[in-house]
């Protein structure tokens, strides 16, 4: 199991558009990826409904996990999507 801990940029929050970007990135991966709050249960990164339910706000940390071939590269790519998220506009 490979892990990455990333901070969602301040002022973003995993709602609507940012969550869509994360889901699309995860859907493009060949292995499954989970997202969790640091001490919380992991949810499927391809599920926008589950991600919205996490209610992750800007400045908070999330833990990405994956297992299997290419897990390191996959998580690096998804982590970059999270850290480069555009700011919220409502």
Partner 1 sequence: MADPIGPLRGVGASPGVGVGPVVRLADRLPEPPRDAPTDDPVAAWAQASDALAAVAADLEERGRRAGPEARAVLEAQVLMVRDPDLAAEVARQVRAGSTAARAVYDAFGSYRTSIAAAGHYVAGRVADLDDVCHRTVARLSGTPPPGLPTLTEPAVLVARDLAPADTAVLDRTKVVAFATEEGGPTSHTAILARALGVPAVVACPDVSALPEGVTVMVDGGSGVVRADPTVEELAAVRGNGARSATGVATTGSAAASGLDQGRTADGDPVELLANLGDPADLAGALAHGAEGIGLFRTEFCFLDRSVPPSEQEQAALYRQVLGAFGGRRVVARVLDAGADKPLRFLPPQRREPNPALGLRGVRLLRRYPELLAGQLRALAEAVSGTDADLQVMAPMVADLDDAQWFVTACRDVGLVAPVGVMIEVPAAALRAAELAVEVDFLSVGTNDMAQYAFAADREVGAVARLQDPWQPALLDLVACVAAAAGAAGVPCGVCGEAAADPALAGVLVGLGVTSLSMSAGALPAVRAALATHTGAACRAAAAAARAAKSPAEARATARGALSTR
The binding track of 51-90 with respect to partner 1, each residue x by CB under 8 A or -, is: -xx-x-x----------------------------xxxxx
From the list 2, 6, 9, 15, the catalytic residue is: 15
Write the burial class of residue 51 (CB in 10 Å: 0-12 exposed, 13-18 middle, 19+ buried): buried
Cross-strand pairs, 3: 65
Token pair of 51 as six digits: 């991600």
Positions touching partner 1 (CB under 8 A) are 9-13, 15-17, 19-20, 23-24, 43-44, 46-50, 52-53, 55, 57, 86-90
């Amino acid at each position: 199991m490979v892990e990455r801990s990333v901070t969602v940029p301040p002022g973003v929050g995993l709602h609507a558009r940012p969550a869509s970007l994360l889901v699309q990135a995860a859907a493009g991966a060949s292995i499954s990826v989970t997202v969790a709050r640091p001490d919380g249960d992991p949810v499927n990164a391809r599920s926008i409904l589950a991600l919205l339910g996490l209610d992750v706000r800007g400045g908070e940390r999330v833990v990405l996990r994956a297992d299997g071939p290419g897990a390191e590269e996959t998580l690096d790519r998804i982590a970059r999507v999270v850290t480069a998220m555009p700011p919220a506009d409502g």
